[in-house]
Amino acid sequence: MKVDGRWWMDFFNKIYLVTDYRTVCDHNLTRKEVSLLESILKPGKKDDILDICGGYGRHSLEMAKRGYRNLTVLDFSGYMINVGKKIARQGDLNVKFLKRDARRSGLKSGKYSFAFIMANSFGYFPEDRENLKILAETHRVLKKGGKLLLDLADPCYVKNMLKPRSWHEADRDMVVCRERNLKNDFITVRELVISKSKGLVRDGRYCEKLYDRGKISELLKTAGFVKPSVRNSVSLGGTKKDYGLMSARMFVTALKP
């Protein structure tokens, strides 16, 4: 299955918020993720925190509700950024949103105390060198002693348990069908979204590079990080639903020396 390497540039739009509603719009799941993030990173309320590839900023918005004051969400999708801005305005939440490429953010060096990439938003490139650019850029914008958290798909689960085909009703109108293909450490997915009233509304493909404990640690060290720590087989969504690549997760932390 071939996937356009630029798939991520326009994939995260209005349809995505419907097809992935059960995860990206599940406020209970978001609260669990943020609580885990807090327990791992232990950020201060006044620390500068960067939410990379954060979509509409659901984690930062939740953190703002908990009293964090200096949150920045960076994402390439203009649609998602605008959704996040609207939610922040409506809730009077102090979150800054930036439409940027995570490989070239243009942010000031050494500004942030903490950075995180949540919910399988890392590994969109089949080439290690492109994924490495995101880590290197994150290293650049972190302060000395700054900490990074990565939330990745657990490769052991994906290789042994992930269903090659699945479908679910996203809402009363849309049905989502996915075909997954795993080759080596690279998963490709074809997604068909069918509207009961309008017919086929999406025939898209996306991909993700899987990293095991050793490979992600090596990549982080290449980017300049030290003391990588890995916690795998984490399940936050429960067992009643098929959460796909988010069914079992691997949380990785590393420090900028």
Position 235 scores a pLDDT of 76
Question: What's the predicted TM-score (pTM) here?
Answer: 0.94
H or E element in which residue 177 lies:
strand 174-183
Domains in the chain: ranges and CATH: 7-154+211-255 (3.40.50.150)
For the chain, which residues score pLDDT lower than 50? none
pLDDT of residue 12: 97
pLDDT on residue 247 = 78
For 75, 113, 147, 220, the CA distances from 255, given in Å and listed in that order, are: 22, 10, 5, 9
User: What is the rounded distance in angstroms from the CA atom of residue 217 to the CA atom of residue 223?
Assistant: 10
89 and 96 Cβ atoms separated by less than 8 Å: no
191 in Cβ contact with 170 (< 8 Å): no
pLDDT value at position 1? 82
Please report the pLDDT score of residue 86 as a whole number: 98
Cα distance between residue 46 and residue 25, in whole Å: 27
Count helices and strands in the chain by DSSP H and E runs: 8, 11
pLDDT value at residue 232: 84
What's the chain's length in residues? 257
CA dihedral 229, 233, 236, 240 (to 10 degrees): 170
Q: State which H helix or E strand residue 81 sits in.
A: helix 78-91
Residue whose entry in the numeric block shows the structure tokens 């997604």: 191
| Cα–Cα distance, 243 to 166 (Å, whole number) | 10
Q: Rounded to 5 degrees, what are φ and ψ at 119?
A: 60, 50
Please give the Cα distance from 93 to 85 (Å, whole number). Answer: 9
Distances (CA, A) of 211 to 195, 218, 235: 34, 10, 17
Contacts of 140 (CB under 8 A, 6+ apart): 109, 110
pLDDT in the model for residue 246: 75
pLDDT for 242 equals 59
Per-residue pLDDT tens for 38-66? 999 999 999 999 999 999 999 999 999 99
From edge to edge, which strands make up the β-sheet containing 70-75? 95-99, 70-75, 48-52, 112-117, 142-153, 249-255, 226-234
What pLDDT is stored for residue 237 in this prediction?
66
Which residue has 């739009």 as its token pair?
A: 13
- Measure Cα distances from 238 to 22, 30, 235 in Å: 12, 13, 7
How confident is the model at residue 248, as a pLDDT? Answer: 86
